[in-house]
Chain A
Amino acid sequence: MKSDRGDIELAGVCKSFDGATYVVDGVNLKIADGAYCCFIGPSGCGKTTILRMIAGHEDPTAGEIVIGGQNVVGLAPVQRRTAMMFQSYALFPHLTVRDNIAFALRVRGMSKADRLRAADAMIEKVRLTQFADRLPAQLSGGQQQRVALARAAITEPRVLLLDEPLSALDEQLRVQMRQELRRMQQDLGITFIHVTHTQLEAIALADLVVVMEQGRIKQAGAARDVYAHPHDRYVAEFMGGQNVLSGLVEKVNGSTFTLAQAAPDGIEVPLQARSTVSVGDKIDIAVRRDDVALVRPGRELPPGCTTSLPSRVLAIEYQGYFVKVMLDTVPDDAFVAYVPEKVFFADPFTVGDVVMATWATGSALPLA
């Protein structure tokens, strides 16, 4: 008895192509039915291999892949009721849009009249009616993507797998197709698993963001969780928007500890439940770039700020609604402040100015 649920569970999934190195190394993950899940990581981190194993195009070396309560390892994609949208769409070049979309029904032996009717209904859904008789080569990138989506969706999968679906499009179209993917996912009400290396794409779309590095999951959680509360330096740097500083713990005092840095009094960091620190530990902390305020030396710090780091302005980039100010605050890491446009231009800095970088003490986040 087949289940219609598209919840996925990966249990101890490993994959090695050569028997020595593991591309995917013991991945455990639960994805809820109807969720939009994004796997994100640099190229070679194993995210596409996981996708292909869920799709049935690779078999795991070890572990189980359970979809809707059924272990699907060894089953063909059709038996799994998954469908994949390939990176370059892989539309059949010799078939028209209609025939491409009807392909899955054709190989199932559905009669020509029935399958063309079903394909036309799907073509209407993705708003391609006027292009139904065109070949893939005669379509724009965005139209090709919609054909690929329709071709996959016509199999009525319970899970749709998308391999870097937006990477072939230009910036403007990417934002537009992003919304279309989300709309499509809500229309179909099925689980989407989307592989990407673009942070913005992942946090804009996903209910569940999975950050990967070298075959392992670094952090999995809601987009806001992963972005605002990264577990470690890797996730913080990969997701962006954070300044990461490291230093030795100087003293622990109640609910906060002090990190030795190039600041007169060190950096005060709130001690959170999950971290146990002792004096002498080397620790990374993260401070959001948009939490950093810049104050001219000698002026009073904003309320709640106890740490201030003297810095020199290295570069300034105007970004529209904010200004990106790059500083030499810490010797080894980049330190950046996102200053709201209006605040910046009320008292603009120039390159070479000395400023005090400060932030509300409560917003500093110790990393694992």
Chain B
Amino acid sequence: MSAILADMPKTDASKTGAPATTKAIAPSKGGRPWTFYVLATLFVFYVIALYGPMFCIYVLSFQDIRGGLVFPMKGHSLHWFVDLFTQVRTGDVKGSFDRSIKLAVIVTVITVVVSFLAGLGFRKRFRGDTVVFYMMIGSLVAPGLVLGLGTGLLFQALGLNASWYTSALGAQLSWTLPFGVLVMFAVMSRFNHVWEEAAYDLGASRWQSIRLVMIPVLAPGLVAVALFGFTLSYDEFARSLQTAGSLNTLPLEIWSMTLNVTSPSLYALGTVTTIVSFIVIGASLGSIVLIQKKRGSSAKG
């Protein structure tokens, strides 16, 4: 449509020799309709509302030793970052960060593997498939705090100790798995089953067709599932609260710090965790781009 509109003035002008009449149909080069400015303003407000609050935290974390919890800025240094990792009174940041990363990695691996297998399973209809599907969605809509509480109680009833790598892992999976499977369904819907048939026709075993055809074709989608799993686990709070046991994950640690730490260390922690998140997201997106670029370049070379 836009191509048609763009072409029309040209032919008009060449016929009539009066380019002025074209203004009514389409704006001249470089000009934009007034709606553009309205929407652009709206977008700017949206971005400020989204990132403004976080930006305050990041800025305040770079104050020097005189720094407080509110503006104005008092000097600038990395003091509070050093404080964060050296002072005991700020809490077990390093330990909880460690646990959160480990937990997120375990959750990611399980989510990717199980979602992929579920994706394979749901390619064909089977008896009770809708029941299985809705049960899965059910755990997604169940309130996280209640689910965490229930998991904690169940562990207690069974006489098991709650800990981040058992009960919290389970509680988090109840959150990441349905998400992962839903993303996987979307990814799978673009996989043409004829590719599998072609692989079988050419003599590939089931395993070879998964390894050499399915996984490489689906790789960008699998990275997306992994990213989902990681980020959902890394900042999970509600389900971990009652299930993490005696050792905190990072979000729990931050929460307890908000109750007793009154220095910009807290903000420094916010900055560090955000950086980690961005690194993970960047690495994931980078790997997707790399996969596609590799295909493109091997195609050219």
List the interface of chain A (C-beta within 8 A of B): 55-57, 76-78, 83-84, 86-88, 90-94, 96, 103-104, 106-108, 133-135, 138, 151-152, 155
Contact = CB atoms under 8 A, between A and B. Distances in A.
A317 B234 CA distance: 72
Q: Nearest 4 CB-CB pairs, A to B?
A: A78-B203, A104-B202, A90-B198, A90-B194
A105 to B, nearest CB: 9
A133 B202 contact: no
Contact of A86 (B194, B217, B300, B301): B194
B299 A133 contact: yes
B153 interface: no
Contacts of A55: 201
Given A92-B217, A107-B203, 10 more contacts: A56-B201, A57-B200, A90-B194, A90-B198, A91-B198, A92-B195, A92-B213, A104-B203, A135-B295, A152-B202
Interface of B: 192, 194-195, 197-205, 208, 212-213, 216-217, 295-296, 298-301
B200 A134 contact: no
A93 B217 contact: yes
A31 to B, nearest CB: 19
26 contacts: A55-B201, A57-B197, A76-B203, A77-B203, A84-B198, A84-B201, A88-B192, A90-B194, A90-B197, A92-B213, A92-B217, A93-B195, A94-B216, A94-B217, A96-B298, A103-B204, A103-B212, A107-B199, A107-B202, A107-B204, A107-B212, A108-B203, A133-B298, A133-B299, A134-B299, A152-B202
Main secondary structure of the interface of A (DSSP, over half): loop
A77 B217 contact: no
Nearest to B196: A90
A85 B260 CA distance: 69
Given A107-B208, A133-B300, A133-B301, A94 B201 contact: no
A133 B299 CA distance: 5
A88 B208 contact: no
Contacts of B199: 92, 103, 107
A92 B205 contact: no
A138 B200 CA distance: 25
B18 to A, nearest CB: 41
Contact of B201 (A77, A93, A106, A135): A77
A133 B198 CA distance: 20
A88 B194 contact: yes
A152 to B, nearest CB: 8
A51 B217 CA distance: 27
A318 B199 CA distance: 48
B203 A155 contact: yes
A184 to B, nearest CB: 18
